[in-house]
Amino acid sequence: MAELKVRPGRDLSVIGSAALVRALHAAGLVDRYTLLIHPLTLGSGARLFGAGPLTEFTLTGCVTTTKGVVIAHYDRGV
């Protein structure tokens, strides 16, 4: 992934794999998160951010859909 990241071209995206996101985050390969926050509870599930490295991100944009879903964009802090 690190090799792909340095190549010119479009952004790489991960959709629906918390384990892959955690591994990429731990390796310092995540520059931006787009989180879709749905207004519901499931009762239980895997945490996206567990005991990984502390990394600061800055909120760069946020919109709420008509269904109440919050779409938040975060960039890696400097």
Helix, strand, coil distribution of the chain in percent, nearest 5 = 20, 25, 55
User: Which tokens in the block code for residue 1?
Assistant: 């992934």
**Domain, as residue range, for 56:** 2-76
For residue 30, the domain's CATH number is 3.40.430.10
**Chain segment 7-64, per-residue pLDDT in tens:** 888 888 888 788 888 888 888 888 899 999 888 877 777 677 777 678 889 999 999 9
pLDDT tens by residue, 64-74: 999 999 999 99
The pLDDT of residue 53 is 72
Please tell me the predicted confidence (pLDDT) of residue 62. Answer: 97
Residues 15, 45: Cα–Cα separation, whole Å: 17
Paired tokens of 15 = 């959709």
Instruction: List, in sequence order, the alpha helices (H) in 1-78.
Output: 2-6, 18-26
What is the number of structural domains in the chain?
1
pTM, entire model? 0.74
